[in-house]
Structure 1
Amino acid sequence: MAKPQVVVAPVLMSKLSVNAPEFYPSSYSSNYTESYEDGCEDYPTLSEYVQDFLNHLSEQPGSFETEIEQFAETLNGWVTTDDALQELVDLIYQQATSIPNFSSMGARLCNYLSHHLTISPESGNFRQLLLQRCRTEYEIKDQAAKGDKVTRKRFHAFVLFLGELYLNLEIKGTNGQVTRADILQVSLRELLNALFSNPMDDNLICAVKLLKLTGVLPGFDVEEKCGLESLHLSGDLCKRLRTPGKPLT
């Protein structure tokens, strides 16, 4: 089976649902789905199996709903050690932060796996290891925001992925209620501070993209922290940025 070719494209804020049938390309074939239903016998390593599936989702996001259950079941038979779980987390994180249009899909995938992977070692379950991986990037935010162009680009990809995790990652309480991972709010506010404290064009663009994605986060004072009026943003955008929790459409 030929490896799907992933093309790096600019981040696009689409209002379309990835569940829509229109996301299936005209060349879509059920053979790919059938190959996953047959299991992972054709893949010599976990890395190759997971990477192929991630590339497949990048090209055919509409296949998520029909193939994710089988993918998770296969992983439960394969990911049985701490090292394998860490490798899985690293592979998904890398895809979500290196392919810009995969950040939303990556966050949905992370949410599903956090609820359906059975392995839960002492070193941490899938969600805990994922957040630890994000923490590693978060801790160097100030250096990254003022780094060179390549460093900033990598940092921006992380920022937007964390924003998607904030929107998609669900945590089940002891009574079975599902809540958003609100703990990420604090991290996102600090990331915005880092971006606006280093007002290079690409940092400001990333900050506005995050605000468009999440809405203004509670406790984040846009006017005090960012001085928006001096950033040459439109008056309408400034007005909407002052409304906490309101998405920027």
Structure 2
Amino acid sequence: MENALNDFRELLAVETAKIDRTITETHSASISFLASRGILNSSGGMIKVTRDAADTIPMHCQTAFTLLLRTLTAHGVQVDQSNKDAVAAVLRTWIEERLLQLKALVSITAPMAHGNPAQNESYLKEIDERGNLEIRRIAGEIALIAAAQGREKPGQQNFSMVFNGQVGVVQTGAGSFGTANQNIDQGASEALIAALSKILALATQDDSPQRDDVLELVADARSELEKDKPNALKVKSLVSGLGDALSLMPKLKEGYDVLKWAGSFVGVNLP
């Protein structure tokens, strides 16, 4: 697992540098705005620079989560009940260190430099609060992955999902971030096709009213993915629609879980 962690840290360092650059640019713009309004050293200024950093925390944490899963998968390490706590601990440790770095970054901005330490700390609590929520969320996601792995039955087909290519982070709602390949590369395509195969096998044995709709969506999505250059928007639309249909079919929850995993890599965050 150590080789996987080394790769994880190297990849994450690159993504963190990009996010840091964005924070610096955002802080510069905020400070210019605050100074032009004569409120640079006000409580509003402290809130603004703190929130600039805090708003990146979901993106930081989701990026770390995704990269760790990618590297573990690439190195053949499966997340299950035996190692879920260790995987969660790796991310928790990194996030806690990252929160300290973010607070240090905010503390040297002009609004904070003129405040007293106790006052500054009261504003910086927002960073800790946002980070703690993300730690809890990611621990829950890892527990779900381990639980799903534990439900595999003897003789049941397993799907190995290896993702390659550059991953970007996209905002999917207020405070909600997901990951997506800029294009539907081979790894993401193979993951989705594996998920579709799983759903097809389950749906053909189901008698729900939505079965025919599901089978049609599976066929359409697979047909698009098998093209030389799949239409990313069409694939996302089909995956989203398929997720909606599967949510009405309790017997196909296993297929829904696999689709949720694969869909996240093309920017579709199923609930």
TM-score class normalised by the smaller sequence: under 0.3
TM-score when normalising by structure 1: 0.26
- Larger relative contact order, structure 1 or 2 (CA cutoff 8 Å, min sep 6): 2
TM-score when normalising by structure 2: 0.24
Q: Which has the higher helix share?
A: 2
Structure showing greater radius of gyration is 2
